[in-house]
């Protein structure tokens, strides 16, 4: 089964110079956890997820802690979130993004999602322009339907 058969053909996106607050509003309204970031040619140049926002607002030593309960002051986290809301998306996005093409297999897409700990992955054409997305639940659904090996 190819990615083209399992992808969601939606090109909702955010631009590099739009703000974190714009991103949050977009995700809230569309019930999404992340969005592809594109340039003026519609090429995908990054990916921004809610996890990236949380990481940006946490102290840099958080990754060394075993549990969030070790964060000395959660209030600081909220203050940092307030400080980054006007930042540009490009300051917090993951780049280069993990991308897939419509002719790739769904097995390969699942492999990339699992290995990179992603929920959503942009699907691009040969010029790197956004065509849609694949997400975990669609791939899990395809697997339970026995379509993945087809």
Partner 1 sequence: MNVLTVTLNPALDREIVVENFRINEFHRVKNPSYSAMDPGGKGINVSVILSGLGIRNVAVGFLGGNIGKVVEERMRMISDLITTGFVHVEEETRENIAIVDPLGDTITEINSSGPLIKPDDLRMFLRRFEVTLSRVRHVVISGSIPRGVDNDIYKTLCKKVTDTGKLAFVEGIGPAFEMAVEAGVVTVARPDLRSRKLIFGESLVDLNDYVNAAKTIIEKGSKLAILSYATEGDVIATQDGVWLFKTRGHIDRSHLLGTGDAFMAGVVHSMIENERDCFLAAKRGMSAAVAEAEYIRKELISLKDIDEHIDSFDIRELE
**What are the residues binding partner 1 (CB under 8 A)?**
4, 8-13, 15, 18, 22, 26, 29-31, 38, 40-42, 129, 131-132
Site of tokens 């509003």:
25
Rounded Cα distance, 48 and 34, in Å: 6
Give me the least distance between CB of 86 and partner 1, in Å please.
14
Give me the least distance between CB of 10 and partner 1, in Å please.
5
Question: Can you say whether the dihedral through the CA atoms of 38, 50, 30, 135 is positive or negative?
Answer: positive
* Cβ nearer to partner 1, comparing 43 with 80: 43
* Cβ nearer to partner 1, comparing 58 with 90: 90
Yes or no: say if 93 and 37 are a contact pair by the CB < 8 Å rule: yes
* Cβ nearer to partner 1, comparing 49 with 57: 49
* Cβ nearer to partner 1, comparing 73 with 127: 127
How many Cβ atoms are within 10 Å of 142's Cβ, its own excluded? 19
Give me the least distance between CB of 29 and partner 1, in Å please.
4
Q: Which of 45, 143, 30, 48 has its CA nearest to residue 99?
A: 45
């Amino acid at each position: 089964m190819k990615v083209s058969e399992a992808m969601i053909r939606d090109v909702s996106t955010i631009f590099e110079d739009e703000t974190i607050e714009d991103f949050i509003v977009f995700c809230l309204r569309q019930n999404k956890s992340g969005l592809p970031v594109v340039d003026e040619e519609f090429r995908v140049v990054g990916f921004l997820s809610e996890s990236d926002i949380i990481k940006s607002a946490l102290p840099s030593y958080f990754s060394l802690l075993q549990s969030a309960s070790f964060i000395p002051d959660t209030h600081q986290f909220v203050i940092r979130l307030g400080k980054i809301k006007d930042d540009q998306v490009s300051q917090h996005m993951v780049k280069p993004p993990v991308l897939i093409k419509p002719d790739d297999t769904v097995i390969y897409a699942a492999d990339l999602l699992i290995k990179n700990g992603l929920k959503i992955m942009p699907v691009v054409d040969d010029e790197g322009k956004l065509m849609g997305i694949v997400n975990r639940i669609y791939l899990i659904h395809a697997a339970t339907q026995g379509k993945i090996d087809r």
